[in-house]
Structure 1
């Protein structure tokens, strides 16, 4: 009788465990796709280009001190870009998931940034901010200031520090 009760209790426990919510992994970042765009294989809603209206700054994140926009959104560089060229390699669906950081004036400003800031033209005639010749982007998977969910996606997206060097790349 005791054995039947123990087996019944075990079966009930397994049934209840199977009905519970799955455990979270600790990251709210969307999974990466094989094309390097991030979640959705480079397709999906995305967002429009962000604007660094008051420039860039340095802020502390889980990866240390990194470059962020005036609203605290983390800046990234893309390995498929070519340093020093006047063109971004992130276009179309990529630009929807990785919006360019845009300058509002002729010369972008950067508080605490030691690398050289510049701009390149975007296809729609705006100015994308560069740091040491690398175009800068935000990631649509980052939803709060200081998020770094795009770090290392597909081994081609990297957070940058104040000098313009890739963090962990």
Structure 2
């Protein structure tokens, strides 16, 4: 009769279920943080990048969506989507093309559309446009700036947690109805 002997060595932490799940999450967080920048000279506090699954990314309505304006905190009138979610520009974008994909787009989801975007309250229809992203989706632009959400804002109206951050190699700012970036008072 053969008997299997059991080792008296402790089980490797890499073999536990929790550790197996933690490794990919930690790797994603490390990659996103490595891509992020530090606080710029504007004095904005650096917040680490927070990976968010692309499937939870907000987007404008399928047929085109609405870009409007709303008063957001001490920032004044800024661009929002039809549900009141704050929109941002990325200072690294050039020539109306997005420079944010992969881990960046997980934290800063692009505002996408399947049709022509519409101007809502105080947004200027003449400033609305679209650009084709590297993945083939259509991203909404305003005054030539591709538009983004900040995932930690979630679906909360009036949240602008991304204002003034420096992540993924450049700054992020909300936009005024003129298409110019808005910076916090005192920045």
Q: TM-score, normalised by structure 2?
A: 0.64
Does structure 2 conserve the Cα–Cα contact (< 8 Å) formed by 1:80 and 1:89?
yes
**Greater mean deviation of Cα atoms: 95-104 or 109-118:** 109-118
1:61 aligns with 2:72: yes
1:130 aligns with 2:141: yes
Q: TM-score, normalised by structure 1?
A: 0.70
Deviation, 1:129, is 0.4
Query: Among residues 57, 60, 72, which one is paired with 1:52 in the alignment?
Result: 60
Query: 2:179 maps to what in 1?
Result: 164
Aligned pair count reads 134
Query: 2:83 maps to what in 1?
Result: 71
User: Could you say if the C-alpha distance between residues 103 and 91 of structure 1 is closer, same or farther in structure 2, counting changes exceeding 3 Å?
Assistant: same
User: Could you say if the C-alpha distance between residues 146 and 160 of structure 1 is closer, same or farther in structure 2, counting changes exceeding 3 Å?
Assistant: same
Does structure 2 conserve the Cα–Cα contact (< 8 Å) formed by 1:161 and 1:167?
yes
Question: Using the alignment, how far apart are the partners of 1:104 and 1:56 within structure 2?
Answer: 14
Does structure 2 conserve the Cα–Cα contact (< 8 Å) formed by 1:56 and 1:70?
yes
Does structure 1 conserve the Cα–Cα contact (< 8 Å) formed by 2:60 and 2:81?
yes
What runs of 5+ residues in structure 2 fail to find an aligned partner? 1-32, 39-45
Deviation, 1:125, is 1.9
Question: Using the alignment, how far apart are the partners of 2:52 and 2:47 within structure 1?
Answer: 11
Query: 2:165 maps to what in 1?
Result: 153
What runs of 5+ residues in structure 1 fail to find an aligned partner? 1-32
Deviation, 1:39, is 4.5
Deviation, 1:46, is 4.5
Three-state SS of the structure 2 residue aligned to 1:118 is strand
